[in-house]
Amino acid sequence: MDKQTITIYDVAREASVSMATVSRVVNGNANVKPATRKKVLDVIEKLDYRPNAVARGLASKKTTTVGVIVPDVTNMYFASLARGIDDVATMYKYNIILTNSDSNGEKEVNVLNTLLSKQVDGIIFMGNEITDKLREEFKRTKTPIVFAGSVDEQNIYARVNIDYTAAVQEEVKNLIDRGNKRVAFVCGPLEQAINGQFRLKGYKQALKSAGIPYDDKLVFETDDTYKTGTLLQPALMSVNATAAMVTDDELAAGIMNGMSDAGVKVPDDFEIITSNDTKLTEMVRPKMSSITQPLYDIGAVAMRLLTKLMHNEPVDEKDVLLPYGLMKRESTK
Amino acid sequence: MDKQTITIYDVAREASVSMATVSRVVNGNANVKPATRKKVLDVIEKLDYRPNAVARGLASKKTTTVGVIVPDVTNMYFASLARGIDDVATMYKYNIILTNSDSNGEKEVNVLNTLLSKQVDGIIFMGNEITDKLREEFKRTKTPIVFAGSVDEQNIYARVNIDYTAAVQEEVKNLIDRGNKRVAFVCGPLEQAINGQFRLKGYKQALKSAGIPYDDKLVFETDDTYKTGTLLQPALMSVNATAAMVTDDELAAGIMNGMSDAGVKVPDDFEIITSNDTKLTEMVRPKMSSITQPLYDIGAVAMRLLTKLMHNEPVDEKDVLLPYGLMKRESTK
DNA sequence: CTGTTAGCGCATTCAC
DNA sequence: GTGAATGCGCTAACAG
């Protein structure tokens, strides 16, 4: 199947110049006399010539495409990051190969390898956990890698996040200050560093500052899904929790709806604060208070950082922390 | 930046065979003696050789990547389709280059051209409107194209959808049968064929069958956003509508929340039925009744169809209609 | 400012 | 069953 019929050679012949010259005008090289430039441009137009990026990639060792590994685009959180990434990529003339990993370590390794075989110029990785095997693969390549919305507890890779620990600490403190003695912490898998190390740490620090002993019965490790959230109300009640810090919006929405459906009033009887500030927080009733994160920007900044890495520009900070905030809505008092 | 150091030539030398033989084993060609195959495989393992897909693409004229043009991945509807596409693509050893177009005709044309310059083997297009300029561009390429969740009123391109007209007609009929004399039709831009030609047609047909005159005051053309939905309550009330057929879930959620916030009870005082059955429908209160579409499958089937086109296999039907249904929830009586 | 010459890494005839 | 040769379409020195 011939996708492309006319080549740089055709326009060279037609314009009575060498292919080098055609290459120059196509690549915007200044060293071309305006007259011949115009001549070439006219032929390109006339022949409807379109440079073959694959050949170009082989010759130049640059593909102007970056690989993006994401757990699931269907998750609004990641979709927002992906959008930020794509916009900035487009801005810098890159395209993205998007792959869903389902946070599956094996898939991540596979996908990384096919991305590398396709000679992507860089990689943006989103994933809550980095297996040793994956780290090994990362280490084997010189292709620049940036983590977006994903921590690297080993402090090796460039990444952009918010300060999850501080954010959680602050909001749990607020919950406590408002009189909640028993604040639950409902999170995704604790083996994921972002939960088990960063967020949980913030939770514990807030308790400690308030002089409240840590009770692991108040920690609910889940799979981050809406469905699971809807089923949590009885368990939450049974440990006498009066508020919950939740690490995912869909999960939080599930909890809240589960509470409401069981007749528990939010926020009067139970306060909920969530973490990702996706647009879902505005769509449920009551609207959910949330830690705010600049989702789109996390993706955008990560991609911008990657362009610097790809162009060998200096980067002043590998661990970029973007500002977070709190959006008070109706699920907290 | 050398992403790849060792080539097919290195393994050929190291294994004391020709590069042709290495190429054969890499590509699973049967004409290789098991012994030499093993020898080569061992060297590949030892050298950690990874075929360069770009070079392969240039030589074979196949990139095993397809371009996907989507209005916005941040929209759950499209994210679901994209997920289906990626999964099937992966299944058939393809990768996807994902690009957001914002339904902007100019961007679509640009993106299409860069996709083609990158020699993608096929394209999946999602977009509610196809400008003439875009059709022109489509026409100029031999690269297979499939529309996913996007109609082609000119009946030229392969596509997979549900029968939007029939679905809307059916649900509007139900609304009328339940006693609603004035059913509003709230949709996205009417210049988009899917709204202006398919869905609106179903709405009109339902009215006609019921002997109710068409009143264009009941048709609300919007931009499909949640925000817009929240502002629609006064207008809807002013035309004495008692129910609405809505073409987008976020839009519908906005309308519903707008109603609730204004003290209008859904579904008692106002019935709402939406169209995309994204998970949002379950998360809002009351849960929204919706036309159901197999979102993931639309993407999956579209990608499957594209593989057939790319492999020159026969396709029996260019206009694939997947089954739709109705999920009765709480926003209708 | 422009042309010539080499490859980039691999698939693919065509011989052997 | 295996190797040698050629070219995919383009960029990148290197001359001139």
d(CA B112, CA A227): 39
- Residue A1 pLDDT > 50, yes or no? no
Could you check: is the Cβ of residue B35 within 7 Å of any atom of nucleic acid strand D? Answer: yes
Region A242-250: mean pLDDT is: 97
- Residue B30 pLDDT > 90, yes or no? no
* Helices vs. strands in chain B: H and E counts, helices first: 15, 12
A116: Cβ–Cβ under 8 A, 6 or more apart, which residues?
A: A67, A141, A143, B3, B50
Q: Record the tokens describing residue B150, joined without a space.
A: 């996007």
Q: Is A227 helix (H, G, I), strand (E, B) or coil?
A: helix
- Cβ(A187)–Cβ(A212) under 8 Å? no
- Cβ(A305)–Cβ(A320) under 8 Å? yes
Count other Cβ atoms within 10 Å, centred on residue B298: 25
Residues 171-230 of B with CB under 8 A from A: 226
What residues in B contact A55, CB-CB < 8 Å? 58
- Helix, strand, coil percent values for chain A (each to nearest 5): 45, 15, 40
Q: What is the CATH number of domain A164-292?
A: 3.40.50.2300
E strand or H helix that includes residue B272: strand B271-274
**Percent of chain B residues topping a pLDDT of 70:** 99
d(CA B211, CA B333): 22
B69: Cβ–Cβ under 8 A, 6 or more apart, which residues?
A: B99, B101, B108, B111, B112, B115, B123, B124, B125, B126, B127
Alpha-helix runs per DSSP H in A118-269:
132-140, 164-177, 193, 200-210, 226-230, 233-238, 249-261
- Residue B119 in contact with partner chain A when CB distance is under 8 A: yes
**Which residue, among B66, B74, B109, would best test binding to A if mutated, counting the most A CBs under 10 Å from its CB?**
B74
d(CA B173, CA B212): 11
Could you check: is the Cβ of residue A29 within 7 Å of any atom of nucleic acid strand D? Answer: no
Angle at CA B114, nearest 5°, toward A51 and B8? 65
- pLDDT of A239 reads 97
Residue environment code for A259-280, b if the CB has 16+ CB neighbours within 10 A, otherwise e: bbeeeeebbeebbbbbbbbbbb
Name B158's bridge partners: B146
- pLDDT of B4 reads 52
- pLDDT of A3 reads 47
Sheet holding A319-321, edge to edge: A319-321, A158-161, A145-148, A122-125, A65-70, A95-100, B95-100, B65-70, B122-125, B145-148, B158-161, B319-321
B2: confidence class by pLDDT, cuts 50, 70, 90: very low
d(CA B56, CA B92): 17
Region A75-100: mean pLDDT is: 97
Residue environment code for A141-180, b if the CB has 16+ CB neighbours within 10 A, otherwise e: bebbbbbbbbbbeeeebbbbbbebbebbbbbbbbbbeeeb
d(CA A54, CA B288): 48
Q: Record the tokens describing residue A264, joined without a space.
A: 């528990």
- CA-derived radius of gyration, chain B: 25
Region A269-296: mean pLDDT is: 95
- Cβ(A159)–Cβ(A152) under 8 Å? yes
Q: Which of residues 33-52 of A touch strand C (CB under 7 A)?
A: 33, 35-37
| Fold equal for A8-51 and A65-162+295-324 | no
Domain ranges across chain B: 8-51, 65-162+295-324, 164-292
d(CA B66, CA B120): 5
Angle at CA A295, nearest 5°, toward A291 and A300? 150
Mean pLDDT of chain A: 95
B3: confidence class by pLDDT, cuts 50, 70, 90: very low
Which nucleotides of chain D have an atom under 7 angstroms from any protein CB? 1-5, 7-13
Sheet holding A243-246, edge to edge: A219-221, A183-187, A243-246, A271-274, A289-292, A325-327
State pLDDT tens for residues B184-242. 999 999 999 999 999 999 999 999 999 999 999 999 999 999 999 999 999 999 999 99
- Residue B126 in contact with partner chain A when CB distance is under 8 A: no
| Chain A with chain B: Cβ pairs closer than 8 A | 157
- Cβ(A323)–Cβ(A294) under 8 Å? yes
- pLDDT of B31 reads 81
d(CA B104, CA B129): 9
B128 alpha-carbon distance from chain centroid: 10
- Cβ(B168)–Cβ(B203) under 8 Å? yes
**Percent of chain B residues topping a pLDDT of 90:** 93
Query: Between the CA of A40 and the C1' of C4, what is the distance in angstroms?
Result: 19
Query: Between the CA of B103 and the C1' of C14, what is the distance in angstroms?
Result: 51
- Residue B73 pLDDT > 60, yes or no? yes
User: Do A118 and B65 lie within an 8 Å CB cutoff?
Assistant: yes
The whole-angstrom distance between A16's CA and the closest CA on chain B is 24
* Architecture category of domain B8-51 in CATH: Orthogonal Bundle (1.10)
Could you check: is the Cβ of residue B19 within 7 Å of any atom of nucleic acid strand C? Answer: yes
- Residue A54 in contact with partner chain B when CB distance is under 8 A: yes
User: Do B3 and A65 lie within an 8 Å CB cutoff?
Assistant: no
- CA-derived radius of gyration, chain A: 25
The whole-angstrom distance between B267's CA and the closest CA on chain A is 16
> Tokens 């999964």, residue?
B87
| Dihedral angle over CA of A31, A36, A39, A40, nearest 10 | -40
Region A238-253: mean pLDDT is: 97
**Which residue, among B3, B76, B80, B303, would best test binding to A if mutated, counting the most A CBs under 10 Å from its CB?**
B3
Q: Which amino acid is at B62?
A: K
B1: confidence class by pLDDT, cuts 50, 70, 90: very low
Mean pLDDT of chain B: 95
A188: confidence class by pLDDT, cuts 50, 70, 90: very high
Which nucleotides of chain C have an atom under 7 angstroms from any protein CB? 1-5, 7-13
Query: Between the CA of B313 and the C1' of D1, what is the distance in angstroms?
Result: 32
Q: Which amino acid is at B179?
A: G
Q: Which amino acid is at B176?
A: I
- Cβ(B194)–Cβ(B149) under 8 Å? no
Closest residue (CA) to C1' of nucleotide D13 is: A20
B128: confidence class by pLDDT, cuts 50, 70, 90: confident
What residues in B contact A308, CB-CB < 8 Å? none
State pLDDT tens for residues B287-322. 999 999 999 999 999 999 999 999 999 998 999 999
CA B7 vs CA A139, B3, B22, B55: distances in Å: 20, 11, 10, 10
Nearest CA in chain A to B255: A283
The minimal CB distance from A117 to the residues B52, B98, B141 is found for B52
* Architecture category of domain B65-162+295-324 in CATH: 3-Layer(aba) Sandwich (3.40)
CA A156 vs CA A152, A319, B233: distances in Å: 7, 9, 53
> Tokens 């009351």, residue?
B286
B278 alpha-carbon distance from chain centroid: 13
- pLDDT of B278 reads 92
Q: Record the tokens describing residue B203, joined without a space.
A: 């709405």
